[in-house]
Amino acid sequence: MTMDYYTYKLPCEAFTVTSSNGVPAHFTCTGTSDGIEVRIAHEYAGVFGLGERYDALNYLGKTAVNAVEEKFCHQGDKTYCPMPFFWTDSGLGVYAQTARVTCFEFERGSITLHLPEGCALHVFSGSPEKMVAAYICLTGEPVLPPEWVFGPWISANHWDSREKLEHAVAEAEEHGFPVSVAVIEAWSDEATFYRFRSESLWPEPEEMIARLHEKGIHLILWQIPVYKHLEPHEAPNAQLECDWDEAVQRRLCVKNADGTPYRIPEGHWFAGSLVPDFTNPETVESWFSRREYLTDLGVDGFKTDGGEFILSDGARFFDGTTGAEGRNLYPQMYTRAYTEHLKPGQALFSRAGYVGAHTTPILWAGDQVSTFDELRSQLNAGLSASASGVIFWGFDIGGFAGELPTPELYLRATQLACFAPIMQWHSEPDGGQFKLLQPGMEGNNERSPWNIERAFGLTGYTEQVRRWHLLRMKLLPYIRAEAAKCVENCRPLMRPMAYAFPEDPLCTNIDDEYMFGDALLVAPVLREGVSEREVYLPEGEWRDFCTGERLHGGRVCTRGCTETIPVLVREGVDGSHLLPELYHEI
């Protein structure tokens, strides 16, 4: 897909662009002590994009700092995946092509960008669909993951042995839950992160993976980009020592300006560790030669966690990149290296990113505690990421950390996840930072539906949750077809209403419903104790997915949601024929 856009190298003279809606945007550039200030006089009511944002979808009245940051839960205005790209409801889009940290201020009638000299400013005019597609095309070719990623995922950090993993799979089978993907985080030796923990805990991994494949389950392994600094209480690891020595001697790790190895600063995750420099071809060869056997064993992909580790402007990379640029670029260096080493049929699932995150190819929302407020922020994150060109995204059902989610929260999160690109439950380590378990749980922090049932003593709860997993399986023909169209046409699978219906001004400030593909409007329940909610239906003809009722659009309607969430089918659009009459099954 092609689209005309204007490119300006800063600093530059003042210029004016008229948006597709006929609204002028007047740009003026002023030099400052630390770069360029670009002021845009432009009338708009909504501004979207900016990467994965947890605190709001419409960023009018807010300031976005475009800096990769690792923030454990309650992200607020921090983000693992910023992007210096936005578009307005008035038909204007702007992408500031720079790796450095930038700051964008959005006020009514004006936008102020704080940018470095030499930054290229790409200015778009058009519908949200065209502007986002143009941005995607400009920043990298999107990737369609294998079809199996769209089925239900299961994960828990405390699966630290083959026995525990196979027990979890057996429980899923016993309760009638379909499983397409199992993610294991605590599989490795916790030192090299490419060797299994021990023969006694993970015997015959190739045979284990083959058995999973016979059940239709694909295995994803957790990864982290460090040469780990071991704490005093951790046992020495001879292989890690060899890897560390090689990284220093062959200059495979990120350096300081004086040539010494850069270490992750104190107070941060994996403090003291070295960071592999993926701009060095020798690093890439060394790193993946140690992991190639995992693919040979049958591993189906990797969960590329972390990457928010460049925290000094003085850091230096093999290709000349500085720490000031590497802070934002490093997550994409890391995940791109993995993507380029994936075999056909493998997948990547990543937390941090920057411009081009759609190329590496599935993002997840990182870590949140189990509260309704965090569920609200997860939806913000998914929709803002989508507005920024991220095509495939997911989150941890019911939250990753802290007290076990209430049954109500877990069900509402499951319902939302059923209509998200990736449907996954996951949980923090049993001794995690926010460990507050229910009485009598004996340290089991797993977010499986049957564990929630056991914790709260709710007979029949697992069956209630299972209905949504079974529904997900019935939706797969639709989801897979829509996913392929999304990649072909550079569109997100999960779409804010302002993106999907730009001609309708009432959609500008709707942030609690969205389109899932072309045919499904989803209105999740994000508050406790809700038995009905209002849903805005744009013009057109709609069918209630749960009741079969026919509805006319162009109005707000109230829908009951005691056991379901409102989901509406947009009649007559491409893809709706793949949706059977499913309302009677949930």
The catalytic site residues sit at: 305, 308, 367
Q: Strand, coil or helix: what is 304? A: strand
Question: Do residues 221 and 293 touch, judged by C-beta distance below 8 A?
Answer: no
What tokens appear for 470 in the block?
A: 């079974």
DSSP code of 573?
Answer: S
Residues forming beta bridges with residue 535, ordered by sequence position: 557
Residues whose CB is less than 8 angstroms from the CB of residue 221 and which lie 6 or more positions away in sequence, other chains included = 183, 184, 187, 188, 294, 299, 301, 302, 303
Q: How far apart, in whole angstroms, are the C-alpha atoms of residue 225 and residue 283? A: 11
What tokens appear for 567 in the block?
A: 């989901």
For the chain, state the CA radius of gyration: 24
Q: Strand, coil or helix: what is 475? A: helix
Q: Which helix (H) or strand (E) holds 5?
A: strand 5-9
Q: How far apart, in whole angstroms, are the C-alpha atoms of residue 585 and residue 567? A: 14
- Among residues 502, 503, 504, 542, the alpha carbon closest in space to that of 523 is found at 542
* Residue 59: alpha-carbon gap to chain centroid: 19
Q: How far apart, in whole angstroms, are the C-alpha atoms of residue 571 and residue 160? A: 47
How far, CA to CA in Å, does 356 sit from each of 135, 137, 429? 9, 10, 31
- CA angle, residues 105, 509, 354, in degrees to nearest 5: 50
Residues in the chain: 586
- Among residues 357, 312, 348, the alpha carbon closest in space to that of 81 is found at 357
> Within 10 A of 266 (CB to CB), how many other CB atoms are there?
7
